[in-house]
């Protein structure tokens, strides 16, 4: 079942990329702000979401549905398997004409991600994983970096996460920080070993991280929330308490250092 799900997600992600790319290259996407300061959305987000909802739910009518751009409901909580989807992760980058935006698609089974895909159409980078099957980038196996010393690590993170208040002894002065706008892409860059670790300390929507969580774990990473607890998905409020990810040594060091 997970293997067939992975094929389904991969095909859907590429179709999503074709739709979003047309808007992006033509510069025709209209954008507006969602209520309650929930960030921007474009008609490209909605077009991708409509296609994914139709195609994935037609293929798996017994799966639940959770998407950033769909109205949520309680019915998914009783479903054994659930699609968790971000039609476009990095909408601000999309609007700005930058290429680092992605489609993030996952299948969750009883709280655990079992298949996941992150696709960056403007870079033609397809990250994919299924439970127990390893992680790939465009079909080639990937694994996390082996850096064990936090002082030699580069951590993908937004600057506010390094405020002293988040750390037991203040910001670790030796840690080098880098940033990419798409959270799903940040997770995948760590999975392929381009960066050593990542963290985000604010409450984090499940659709931003579900696919990336599995890709990371199948690439050899340890993932958890800011307190070191395992990430669980399809929660009533679809958020987790931040994300910390890296190889076992760096994950332990970051989690220990956090307040």
Residue pair 84/66 in contact by the 8 Å Cβ criterion: yes
Does the annotation flag 215 for ligand binding?
A: no
What is the token pair recorded at 14? 């590429």
Task: Report the C-alpha gap between 217 and 131 in whole angstroms.
Answer: 9
Q: Is 24 exposed, middle or buried (0-12, 13-18, 19+ CB in 10 A)?
A: buried
Does the annotation flag 68 for ligand binding?
A: yes
Residue 118 β-bridge partners: 104, 127
Cβ contacts of 195 within 8 Å, gap of 6 or more: 145, 154, 155, 156, 178, 186, 189
| Strand ranges across the sheet with 81-89 | 64-67, 81-89, 102-109, 112-120, 125-130, 135-137, 140-141
Residue 120 β-bridge partners: 125
Does the annotation flag 7 for ligand binding?
A: no
Does the annotation flag 86 for ligand binding?
A: yes
Binding residues: 68, 86, 88-89, 208
Binding residues for Mg(2+): 68, 86, 88-89, 208
């Amino acid at each position: 079942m997970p293997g067939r799900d992975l094929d389904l997600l991969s095909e859907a992600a590429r179709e999503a990329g074709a739709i979003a790319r047309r808007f992006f290259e033509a510069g025709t996407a209209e954008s507006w702000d969602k209520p309650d300061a929930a960030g921007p959305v474009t008609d490209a987000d909605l077009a991708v979401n409509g296609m994914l909802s139709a195609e994935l739910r037609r293929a798996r009518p017994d799966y639940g549905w959770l998407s950033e751009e769909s109205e949520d409901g309680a019915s998914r909580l009783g479903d054994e398997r659930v699609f968790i989807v971000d039609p476009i992760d990095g909408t601000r980058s999309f609007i700005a004409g930058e290429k680092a935006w992605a489609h993030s698609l996952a299948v969750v089974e009883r709280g655990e991600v079992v298949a996941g895909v992150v696709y960056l159409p403007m870079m033609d980078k397809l990250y994919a994983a299924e439970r127990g099957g390893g992680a790939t980038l465009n079909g080639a196996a990937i694994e996390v970096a082996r850096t064990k010393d936090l002082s030699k690590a580069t951590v993908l993170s937004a600057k506010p996460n390094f405020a002293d208040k988040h750390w037991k002894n203040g910001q670790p002065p030796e840690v080098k920080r880098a940033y990419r706008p798409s959270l799903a892409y940040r997770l995948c860059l760590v999975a392929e070993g381009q960066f050593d670790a990542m963290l985000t300390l604010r409450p984090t929507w499940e659709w931003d991280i579900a696919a990336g969580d599995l890709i990371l774990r199948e690439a050899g990473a340890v993932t958890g929330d800011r307190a070191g607890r395992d990430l669980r998905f399809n929660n009533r409020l679809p958020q987790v308490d931040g994300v910390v990810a890296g190889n076992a040594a760096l994950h332990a060091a970051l989690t220990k250092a956090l307040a």
